[in-house]
Amino acid sequence: MARSFYPIENFAPAPQQVSLLPFRFTRFFGQELLVNEAGEFIFAPEGTAYSLLEGAVDVRSLLYKDLKAKHIVYDETSSALLDVLATKIRTKYDHLSGGTKLHIFVVTLRCEHSCHYCQVSRQTASKGEFDMSRETADRSISLMLDSPSPHVTLELQGGEPLLAFDMIQYIVPKAKEQARIRNKGLDIVVTTNLACATDEMLTYFRDEEVRISTSLDGPAFLHNKNRPRPGNDSYERAIDGIERGRAILGHSNVAALMTTTAASLDHVEEIIDEYVRRDFHTIFLRPISPYGFALKTKNRTGYEMERFLEFYKQGLAHILNINRSGYRLAEIYSQILLSKILTPQGTGYVDLQSPAGGAWNVLVYNYNGDVFASDESRMLAEMQDWTFRLGNVHKDNRRSLFTSEAALRMFEVSCNQSLAGCSDCAFQSYCGADPIYHHATQGDMYGHRPTSGFCTRNMEVIKHLFSFIQEDNPETMGIFWSWLTGRPLPQKGGTCD
């Protein structure tokens, strides 16, 4: 016997009671932007949040269906699917599972450069005094591998780590051997200005599968201005090192980062063009960090965050044009935020996390064995501010580092979910908390959002990216998605809508 069919009213009755799920919202260029707990968002007419609170939203409207499908409201006519929402949130926080992944070893403080903004280096020191000892390296390796993470990254840093190449040659095989014994994955990166990189060193990195991260601040005049060294040839040496590094290690194993100084601010397009000329496909428009010597010498290198944001926006526009012309160039900070906004995944990026990445996702082992919650914490210590020193490799284990006074004080203010200003900010799920930054700039870990450079930067960058999303230009969105997925850039004219 054939079965009967029933009308839609039997399956989708009008709900009597609309209930709210956690969401945050803000006015956004004539619309309202509502963001749920898992970072899913919806552009709605202004006043939507208010009418939800008043119970005045039309449950028969298409908007209501959208709000329901986006896990912003639910009602008694169907399950809220809280398990699904929980899974989405868990996916966003996946970087928390496993424990600290990035481990920075400061193998020496010595450096032959004398960059104005450098917080820590010692040009004059003789070998030995500011180098990591073998005992310290052994203990640091052991602590690194005590992290529950099945895969860790070891970053060799300085000063200029190549000045202590013998130490690198000690650490690399030792770390690999220990990782093998403990059955852990290990990546190794060396952060170097490449000025004194010999072919032998580069060959060693190739053979040991150590990747290179170097500095390139822009064209010669700017790079050399930012990075003084005897002979004033930092740029020439960096370019030469990049070319040789690529020839020996392979193109993709040499990455470059830039720092934006006051001198950079008027030259964003030249900086970007330099990256294209050097055949890089990523660039990170990074503000100078307000720590250590950089803070002291503010008048020489520092600037207001507003000025940096102009620099960033102008740079992003230029970068988009370059992509439109067919050359793939991703801006890393935008890419990280877009990934948080547009994809179900989280990111491992340490400086934009809640709980803050310090200690949870990065630990720094100084040349003398001191352990810090981040590279910035170490720079503060160079200025006699020991707030974020968690302990020392010779006295502490993972447990005592994580339960130290310093760690606990920091953890208390590590979640933007519970910070005034952030707790009801629409962008909370994309942003992070940064107690170290706020301590350094405001003398208070908790921080004051309205005057915080961290907040100013993130709020403005996130808004800027959302304005592209709101505009929904197929070509621009195609470029963004190509950054996120590695797919080819959209064809001229756009194929995405």
Residue of 157, 264, 428, 441 interacting with ligand SF4 (CB under 6 A) = 428
Is residue 5 close enough to count as binding another protein by CB under 8 A? yes
Range 33-52, binding another protein (CB under 8 A): 38, 40
Gap between the Cα atoms of 266 and 221, Å rounded = 13
- Choose the contact partner of 485 out of ligand SF4, another protein, none; CB within 5 to 8 A by kind: another protein
Residue of 251, 296, 300, 487 interacting with another protein (CB under 8 A) = 487
Residue of 280, 411, 427, 466 interacting with ligand SF4 (CB under 6 A) = 427
Q: Closest approach of Cβ 33 to another protein, in Å?
A: 16
Is residue 77 close enough to count as binding another protein by CB under 8 A? yes
On whether the CB atoms of residues 382 and 119 are closer than 8 A, the answer is yes
Gap between the Cα atoms of 73 and 288, Å rounded = 42
Q: What's the chain's Rg over C-alpha atoms?
A: 25
Q: Which residues pair with 364 in a beta bridge?
A: 104, 372
- Choose the contact partner of 79 out of another protein, ligand SF4, none; CB within 5 to 8 A by kind: another protein
Q: In Å, how far are 117, 337, 345, 385 from 94, measured between CA atoms?
A: 34, 16, 8, 32
Among 25-33, 141-149, 150-158, 489-497, which window interacts with another protein (CB under 8 A)?
489-497
Gap between the Cα atoms of 403 and 365, Å rounded = 17
Number of neighbours of residue 463 by Cβ within 10 angstroms: 16
Give Cβ neighbours of residue 144 (< 8 Å, ≥ 6 apart).
Answer: 103, 152, 154, 175, 363, 365
- Choose the contact partner of 449 out of ligand SF4, another protein, none; CB within 5 to 8 A by kind: ligand SF4
What is the SS3 assignment for 234? Answer: helix
Binding mask 434-473 for another protein (x = CB under 8 A): ----------------------------------------
Is residue 441 close enough to count as binding ligand SF4 by CB under 6 A? no
CB nearer another protein, residue 68 or residue 439? 68
Gap between the Cα atoms of 65 and 46, Å rounded = 17
Is residue 247 close enough to count as binding another protein by CB under 8 A? no
On whether the CB atoms of residues 83 and 47 are closer than 8 A, the answer is no
Backbone torsions φ then ψ of 404, nearest 5 degrees: -65, 155
Among 6-14, 195-203, 276-284, 291-299, which window interacts with another protein (CB under 8 A)?
6-14
CB nearer another protein, residue 39 or residue 302? 39
Give Cβ neighbours of residue 385 (< 8 Å, ≥ 6 apart).
Answer: 440
Range 120-149, binding ligand SF4 (CB under 6 A): none
Is residue 448 close enough to count as binding ligand SF4 by CB under 6 A? no
Binding mask 457-476 for ligand SF4 (x = CB under 6 A): -xx-----------------
Range 390-419, binding ligand SF4 (CB under 6 A): 416
Look at residues 315, 322, 343 and name the one whose alpha carbon lies nearest to residue 94. 343
Give Cβ neighbours of residue 207 (< 8 Å, ≥ 6 apart).
Answer: none
Binding site for another protein (CB under 8 A): 1-3, 5-6, 8, 10-13, 38, 40, 65-66, 68-69, 77-79, 81, 83-84, 87-88, 343-344, 477-478, 481, 485, 487, 495-497
Residues that bind ligand SF4 (CB under 6 A): 416, 421-422, 425, 427-428, 431, 449, 454-455, 458-459
